């Protein structure tokens, strides 16, 4: 039985009310989703929250999965949407806590979100390995949109056309964001090496 066939069998059983099948299905993808969440949020607490939202979304929409695409593709579309939802919620919280009347551009807000996740706090990245902590520190300099493009391109290996469709932007915009993110990451890494 292929990986996809196993997915379909577990999905069918889960739809019929099998908690065991659902648990097995979750276990097959939870590591990928958790690490996706960890790279985006930069801390374990938010990563767990995001992962729970993703799987709850998957569970609620499982009956809509038609098998047109791979289950993993469908699942990570939900994960992407939940990540965007979370970024918007953080934006709202950030806006409410910001100085009244102070206008912020989208980039400012996204930068604020990216810098507000506490990834630099050693206490919040204790569970990560040293290399993972460095990567989180690098990604932390990117705004949310740039981080999503890097996540989808580097870690999820999506094409730019797929990223464009998921984010409702053009493929050229996705490429520009990716290139800008790489330049920012390069500058940050050079700076880190000079300091060390």
Partner 1 sequence: MSCHESSKLVPDYFDEALSLQQRKAMEAHLQDCADCQEALAEAKSINGQLRQWRDEPVPQWQRVPKQLQGSGGSARPRFSFWGQWAPLAGAFVMAVAVLFNVQIQVQDNGFSIAFGGAAGIDAGVIAAQLEEFENEQRAAQQQTLQVLSAQLEERQAGNNARLLETVIEQFGDSTTRSLEQVMAYFESQRQQDLQLLQTSYQRLADSDVQTIRSMQQLANYVQYQGN
Taking the C-alpha atoms of residue 181 and residue 143, their distance in angstroms, rounded to an integer, is 9
**DSSP-based three-state secondary structure for 116:** coil
**What is the number of helices (H) and of strands (E) in the chain?**
9, 0
Contact region with partner 1 (CB under 8 A), list: 80-88, 99-107, 111-119, 152-160: 152-160
11 or 113, CB closer to partner 1?
11
Among 138, 141, 148, 152, binds partner 1 (CB under 8 A): 138
55 or 91, CB closer to partner 1?
55
Listed in sequence order, the residues at least 6 apart from 43 whose beta carbon sits closer than 8 Å to its beta carbon are 117, 118, 119, 121, 124, 125
**Burial of 153 by CB count in 10 Å (0-12 exposed, 13-18 middle, 19+ buried)?**
buried
Counting contacts by CB under 8 A, is residue 122 touching partner 1?
Answer: no
Counting contacts by CB under 8 A, is residue 167 touching partner 1?
Answer: no
Please report how close the Cβ of residue 44 comes to partner 1 at its closest, in angstroms: 7
**DSSP-based three-state secondary structure for 105:** coil
Listed in sequence order, the residues at least 6 apart from 55 whose beta carbon sits closer than 8 Å to its beta carbon are 26, 30, 33
101 or 122, CB closer to partner 1?
122
54 or 113, CB closer to partner 1?
54
Residues that bind partner 1 (CB under 8 A): 14-17, 19, 22-23, 26-27, 30-32, 34-35, 38-39, 44, 48, 51-52, 55-56, 59-60, 62-63, 127-129, 131-132, 135, 138-139, 150, 153-155, 157, 159-161, 175-176, 178-179, 182, 185-186, 189
């Amino acid at each position: 039985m292929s990986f996809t066939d196993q997915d379909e069998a577990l999905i069918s059983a889960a739809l019929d009310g099998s908690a065991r099948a659902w648990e097995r299905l979750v276990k097959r993808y939870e590591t990928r989703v958790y690490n996706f969440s960890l790279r985006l949020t930069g801390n374990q607490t938010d990563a767990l929250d995001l992962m729970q939202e993703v799987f709850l979304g998957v569970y609620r929409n499982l009956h809509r999965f038609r098998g047109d695409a791979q289950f993993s593709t469908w699942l990570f579309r939900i994960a992407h949407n939940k990540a965007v939802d979370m970024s918007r919620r953080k934006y709202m919280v950030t806006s409410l806590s910001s100085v009244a009347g102070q206008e912020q551009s989208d980039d400012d807000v996204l930068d604020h979100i990216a810098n507000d996740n506490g990834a630099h706090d050693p206490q919040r990245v204790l569970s990560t390995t040293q290399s993972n902590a460095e990567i989180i520190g690098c990604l932390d300099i990117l705004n949310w949109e740039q981080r999503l493009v890097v996540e989808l391109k580097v870690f999820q290996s999506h094409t730019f056309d797929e990223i464009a469709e998921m984010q409702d932007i053009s493929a050229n915009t996705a490429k520009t964001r990716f290139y800008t993110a790489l330049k920012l990451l390069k500058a940050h890494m050079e700076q880190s090496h000079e300091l060390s």
